[in-house]
Amino acid sequence: MTDAPVLSNETAAPHGSTPIGRVLRSVARLRRSRVGVVGASILVFWIAVALAAPLLAPFPPNQPLQPMAPPGTHAVGGTGVFWLGTDHLGRDLLSRIIWGARTVLVIAPLATLSAFIVGVSAGLIAGFKLGWLDELLSRVTDLVLAFPALVLYIVIISKFGASALNIVLAVTLASSPAVMRLTRGLVLELRNRAFVSAAQLRGESLWYIMVVEILPNARGPLIVDACLRLGYVTITIGTLGFLGLGLPPPDPDWGGMINETRQFALVFPYMVLFPCLAISSLVLGFNLLADGLRELSLQD
Amino acid sequence: MVKLVGRRAVYMAATMLAASLFLFLLFELSPQEVVVNALGPYSTAEQRQAWLLANGYNRPASVRYFDWLGHFMTGDWGRSRVLGAPVAHLVWTRLENTAILGFWFFVFLVPLALGLGVLSGMREGSPLDRIISTLCIVSASIPPFASTVLVSAIFVFSLHWLPGTSSMIDGFSYRELVMPVLVLVLYDFGYVARITRAAMSEVMTTAYMRTAMLKGLPHRRIIVRHALRNALIAPFTVLMLHVNWLIAGVIVVEFFFAYKGFGSLILEASLGHDLFLLEACTMVTVAIAVTTQTVADLVYVYLNPRIRFR
């Protein structure tokens, strides 16, 4: 059976052909936005650093070598140079920042992804089914959003303890309601469009309609939100580390590095300066990329 | 309007109630955890048993919840185990200090952020707009904990202009308030300015702005009379909702500068496993958040005649 030619444009969900083609096309389009390119470059830089950590780091990140060496000091025994200096326990800062990129670039995307899986599914169901389920999900969302995010993290971490898994779960709990609200709004706009009715008439299942017809057409705002949220989550993980509620030592995490060395900031400002720059640049990368993507979506 | 206020009030109460139930289930469902928190991990089994009986923890959880809620609503929030003082007293004195911090924060934030947002939204794409937008996105990307360290590295450690702590040991001092306020404003103005810019540039493209321009009104008058009034509705509600967001910044700043405020109290409660204090603090933050949300909604309706008269 073939669709009538007049309807075929409207009843086929308006998204691209193959997944790879679509990704390539979005990358090509991103080049039109200067902020987007800057943001993406910063992210690519940090991802490369995280992937190549074992090759790039000049020293083992957790090994005490030579306490409080200023940047550029040659290590005793000629094993190398402490380009960014060492911290109060004598661990090489450059190596810790490089390995710390791994920590944050694993936990932040994982936590954001988990929040999106929960939030997007709940938003799809609530916006498409409506009725009591929508009412229930919306009320739960309101409740969670009534807690300031950091307070919610503090409450959860103080109850269940600090670990990577608990941070991921806490971020999921605190962020998914906002994602759900956004998705629900997008679904409400799309659910009465012709391609959804067409899919319903074809007898497609509920999941098919939500995932294959509606979701790809709601992806624009969701991707922008994901970039912004990655930035927030990075800040959050850093903040928890800074407050002493983050990942347990000794593995490097940028916020924790600032917390451990901040009492030496008076004499050795470089100890806190470099982790601060690292985390700020990563967040800036996420924010710029989000900005570039939003700019592009407004052009269409 | 009266009906709306009433509905919002009921909704506020329901949210608070749900939040209290959530906290109770999280922290007080298991009496064993409560008693270990209260007496410490080295207390004996007999001591724990006696404490549980004396404090009524042998009753079923549902009874305990309503009892706890009753005490909470009448202002009896228990005693802080770590700080050794009534929780209610601690919370109110610390809230006062944070209110001072918040007041000065808003005094500096509002003109700065709204001013920059209006300036850059007036001519979208102009060089000034580009400079301001870049400034805003950079400032919003530096996490508050990083800016506390960076700003104090400049003003405290290098220039020696300002004190590095704000504990106010020798009485209240405005000099000690400068750094916390500065850090909070630095982190926040970018976000608010961007919202203002978006609202302003939207207003600039409306039909009534074009009419005003074609009528030949002076540019100043168009901006002040026509554009600002409509452009500032959205930023105002954002500012109110921002109180919720501000709490996170306040926790970090108060912790770093040792300011005796509400934010550092929450953190002390959490790090010291001070259960009653943590419960009370969390409920207070929820109350603050829900109240400001409600006020923001009501003011939005009031300011926007298109919704008010519907």
ipTM of the complex: 0.81
User: Is there a domain that residue B4 lies in?
Assistant: no
pLDDT for res A7: 43
Identify whether B296 is part of a domain: yes
Q: CA B34 to CA B274: how far, in whole Å?
A: 10
Quickly state the pLDDT bin for A5 (edges 50, 70, 90). Answer: very low
Q: What average pLDDT does the segment A237-245 reach?
A: 88
Q: Look at residues B73, B108, B140 and tell me which one is the last residue of a structural domain.
A: B73
Same domain, B102 and B247: yes
The confidence band for B76, taking pLDDT boundaries of 50, 70 and 90, is confident
Confidence of residue A16 (pLDDT cuts 50, 70, 90): low
Last residue of one domain, picked from the residues B50, B73, B96: B73
pLDDT number for residue B4: 81
Report if residue B79 sits inside a domain.
no
Same domain flag for B51 and B104: no
pLDDT of A111: 94
B175/B253 same-domain check: yes
B309 belongs to a structural domain: no
pLDDT value at residue A294:
83
Is the per-residue pLDDT at A285 higher than 90? yes
Residue B76, φ and ψ in degrees, nearest 5 = -95, 95
Residue A187's contacts (CB-CB under 8 Å, 6 or more residues apart) are A123, A124, A126, A127, A128, A210, A214, A218
**If you average pLDDT over every residue of chain B, what do you get?**
83
The residue of chain B nearest to residue A262, with distances taken between CA atoms, is: B149
Look up the CATH number of the domain holding residue B267.
1.10.3720.10
Asked if A239 reaches chain B (Cβ–Cβ under 8 Å), the answer is yes
Domain carrying residue B36: 15-73
Mean pLDDT over residues A24-31, rounded?
76
- The answer to whether residues B299 and B257 belong to one domain is yes
CATH, range A27-60+102-299: 1.10.3720.10
B4-21: pLDDT as tens digits: 888 888 888 888 899 898
Residue A273 in contact with partner chain B when CB distance is under 8 A = yes
Residue A6 has pLDDT above 60, yes or no: no
Higher pLDDT, A167 or A265: A167
pLDDT in tens, B227-266: 887 777 777 777 877 777 788 888 999 988 888 889 999 9
Quick one: B195 and B65 in the same domain? no
Report the percentage of chain A scoring pLDDT > 90: 23
CB B300 within 8 A of CB B233: yes
Clarify whether residues B60 and B95 are in a common domain: no
Predicted local confidence at residue A110, as pLDDT: 94
CA distances (Å), A283 to each of A255, B1, B8, B131, B289, in order?
13, 42, 36, 19, 26
**A278: confidence class by pLDDT, cuts 50, 70, 90:** very high
User: Does B68 share its domain with B193?
Assistant: no
**Among A276, A284, A286, the residue to mutate for chain B (most B Cβ within 10 A):** A276
Contact B72, B20 (CB under 8 A): yes
Return the pLDDT at A4: 42
Whole-angstrom Cα distance, residue B192 to residue B88? 33
pLDDT score recorded for residue A116: 95
Q: B25, B32, B149, B257: best mutation site toward chain A, by most A Cβ within 10 Å? A: B149
Of B149, B247, B251, the CB nearest to A258: B149
Phi first, then psi, for residue B145 (nearest 5°) are -70, -30
* Residue A11: predicted pLDDT: 53
Query: Are B118 and B251 members of one domain?
Result: yes
Closest Cα in chain A, distance from residue B215 (Å): 30
Domain shared by B158 and B248, yes or no: yes
Cβ neighbours, 10 Å, residue B201: 19
Interface contact B26-A146, CB threshold 8 A: no
Stretch B179-192: mean pLDDT: 88
- Please give the mean pLDDT across all residues of chain A: 84
Report residue A41's pLDDT band, with 50, 70 and 90 as the boundaries: very high
User: Is B9 domain-assigned?
Assistant: no
In a domain, B310, yes or no: no
Stated length of chain B? 310
Asked if the model's pLDDT at residue A24 lies above 80, the reply is no
pLDDT band of residue B309 (cuts 50, 70, 90) is: low
Number of domains in chain B: 2
pLDDT score, position B154: 81
Q: Does B271 touch chain A (CB under 8 A)?
A: yes
- Mean pLDDT (whole number) for A126-140: 89
Q: What is the pLDDT of residues B83-139, one digit of tens each?
A: 778 888 888 989 998 999 989 998 999 899 888 988 888 888 888 888 998 888 888
Q: Which long-range contacts (CB under 8 A, 24 or more apart) does A104-107 make?
A: A104/A234, A104/A237, A104/A238, A104/A253, A104/A254, A104/A279, A104/A282, A105/A46, A105/A47, A105/A50, A106/A50, A107/A164, A107/A167, A107/A168, A107/A237
Chain A hits for B270, CB-CB cut-off 8 Å, are 154-155, 157-158, 245
Q: Scanning every residue of chain B, which has its alpha carbon at the shortest distance from the alpha carbon of A276?
A: B146
Per residue in A97-122, pLDDT (tens digit) is: 999 898 899 999 999 999 999 999 99
Q: Which residues of A touch B247 (CB under 8 A)?
A: 148, 150-151
pLDDT given for residue A2 in this prediction: 42
